[in-house]
Structure 1
Amino acid sequence: MKDEPVIARIRLNPHSRDVQRDLRDATEMHRTVMRMVPDGLGDSPRSQAGLLYRLDETDNSSTLLVQANHLDPARLPAGYGKADIKSLTPMFTALRKGLAVRYRIVLNPSKRERLTLEARGKRGRILPLSGADADQWWLRRAADAGLQIHVLTPTNMPPIRPRRQDSDGMRHSLIRYDGTATVADPGALHDAVRTGIGRGKPYGAGLLSLAPAPAA
C-alpha cells in the first residue's frame, strides 16, 4: 500500500524575488514546486510524485498549497516562505459516506471540440467552459469523484497562459469553486484527492481541499 500524500501550506514571502517571479509566471511556479519532490522520477515526474498545487490569495497574503507523496520544503529558494507540512492520512481515515464537508478547488473546466465528419481522424481543440456550462461540468466531475454537491460558489480566476518556448500558447481558464457537499463514495473521493481533478494540473488546477462542515 502506498503512503498517503502530505500537504505543505507555504505562506509566501511577498518580498522574495523568486515569489514575485512565480506569481507572474505559472510555468516558473510549476518549476519551483517541482523542486520539492525527489529527483529521478522518469518521464512524467509530476504524475509520479503525485504533485498538485493551488495558490490561495487574499488582499493581504498569498498561500501556496502543495500536495505530493513526498515533499522537502528545504529545497525551495531561500526566503521563499514559511512551510508547514501535515499528513493527509487523518483526513482520509475520517472519510465516510454521509459525512458533510466543505470543499475548495481551482479547476480548468473544458471540453473537446466536436469535429465534422469530414475532419474524422483529427482531434478537436480543447475549449474552455464558463458560466452554467462550467458549473454543470464541476457537478458531473464532483459526482464522479464521490461528492454530492449542495452549494457551489464560483470565482473566476486570472487565466493562465504558459510562457515556455515549446508551449502551444493555450490559454487555461481557471475557476475556483467553494461550497459544501456530502461524501457519497469515500473510495472514489480518496482517489480524486490523490490524483486531482480535470486538466491544468501543472498550472495550479485540480487540488481538492476538504474539511468537516460545521454542524447545522
Structure 2
Amino acid sequence: MYLTSFRFNTARTGARRLLASPQALHAAVMSSYPDILPGDDGPRVLWRVDRNARAEVLLYVVGPDEPDLTHLVEQAGWPAKEGGWRTHDYAPFLSRLAKGDVWAFRLTANPVHSIRRRDGEPTKLTPHITPRHQARWLLQRQEAAGFRVLERPGEDDHAPEEDGHDLLVHGRRDLRFGKGGAGRAAGAKPVSLVTVTYDGHLEVTDPDALRRTLTMGLGRARAYGCGLMTLAPAGKR
C-alpha cells in the first residue's frame, strides 16, 4: 500500500473544477492507477481532500500501487515544479502499529443512519445533521475499527458520552452532484451527501482492525472522498 499527497493550485480553473465535483475528482484519482479497470473488485482506493486554508488544499490518496498524478499536476497543480506529488510506502508504518499507541487522527466521513418514517415502510439512509449525532456515529464504530477516541481530562462524568472525548467535528459540506458516465440513465437522481471532518486523538486497541480501517476505509461514500483516516504523531494534525 502507498500513501500519496498532492497540493492543488487553487488559482487554476482545473483545480476549482475538480474540487467542485466529487464525481470528477474520483475519476481523476482512479485515472492515476492504469492497472485498475472500472468495475474491478480489486484493492480499494481511498482519497480525501483537506481544505486547510484557501491556498492550502491537499489531496491524500491510499492505494495498492504508486499512482501517476501527472494529469492532475497538468490540470490542477504546478507543472513547472519538480515532482508535483509525494508518495510513501505505507506498509512499514502500518506494520509498526501496536496496541496502546496514541495518535492524532483525521477522518472525513459520511455519517448516516437508517430510519423508518412510517410503520411498514422500508428504511431509508438519512444523514446525521448535528455535531453531537455525528460524533456519536464515529464513537459507535471505534471498537470494530480498532481504536478508542481518547477522553478529555476533567470532563463532567454526567455529560453526554460524545461531549467527553478529544474529538472535534467540523467542516460540514452538503454536496449534490450528478453521477456521471456514459451509461448514466436518463433522469437519474443526483447524488446527495453530507460530509464532516473529525479531528482528535485515539489509542490503538486492535492493530489488525485499525490497519483494515486505514486501508479499506470507514463508512459510506468512499468513492466520493469519504472514509480515509490518516494518523500523525500525537499533538500534530
For the aligned pair, the TM-score class normalised by the smaller chain equals 0.7 to 0.9
Instruction: Report the secondary structure of 2:62's partner residue.
Output: strand
Aligned structure 1 segments of 4 or more residues deviating by more than 6 angstroms:
none
Q: Which residue of 2 aligns with 1:162?
A: 177
C-alpha spacing 1:170/1:73, structure 2 compared with 1 (3 Å) = closer
Q: 2:61 aligned with 1:66, yes or no? A: yes
Deviations 1:97-143 (A, max 9, x none): 00011100001000122365533xxx422100132221111011122
Is the alpha carbon distance of 1:182 and 1:61 closer, same or farther for their aligned partners in structure 2, counting shifts above 3 Å?
Answer: same
Q: Give the Å deviation of 1:6.
A: 0.6
Equivalent residue for 1:53, pick from 47, 63, 77: 47
- Cα distance in 2 for residues equivalent to 1:138 and 1:51: 21
> Counterpart in 2 of 1:41?
37
**For this pair of structures, how many residues does the alignment match?**
206
Please say if 1:153 is aligned against 2:155.
no
Aligned-residue offset at 1:79 = 4.7
Which one of the candidate residues 174, 187, 200 is aligned to 2:208? 187
Question: In the alignment, what sits opposite 2:93?
Answer: 91
The Cα of 1:77 is off from its aligned counterpart by 5.5
- Cα deviation for residue 7 of structure 1 reads 1.3
1:121-174 alpha-carbon deviations (Å, 9 max, x no partner): xx4221001322211110111221011101111003222212236453242111
Q: Could you say what the CA RMSD is over the residues aligned between the two structures, in angstroms?
A: 2.1
Provide the rounded CA distance (Å) in 2 between the counterparts of 1:158 and 1:137. Answer: 17
Cα 1:40–1:133 shift into 2, 3 Å: closer
Contact 1:98 1:182 in 2 (8 A): yes
**Percentage of identical aligned residues:** 26
What is aligned with 1:212?
Answer: 233
Summarize the Cα distance change of 1:106–1:139 in structure 2 as closer, same or farther, 3 Å threshold.
same
**Which 5+ residue runs of structure 1 have no aligned equivalent?**
none
Q: Which moved more, 1:166-175 or 1:57-66?
A: 166-175
Contact 1:101 1:212 (8 Å CA) reproduced = yes
Question: Are the aligned partners of 1:180 and 1:213 in contact in 2 as well (CA < 8 Å)?
Answer: yes
Query: Which letter maps to 1:48?
Result: G
Q: Find the residue that maps to 2:42 and give its secondary structure.
A: helix
Partner of 2:127: 128
Matched, 1:31 2:27: yes
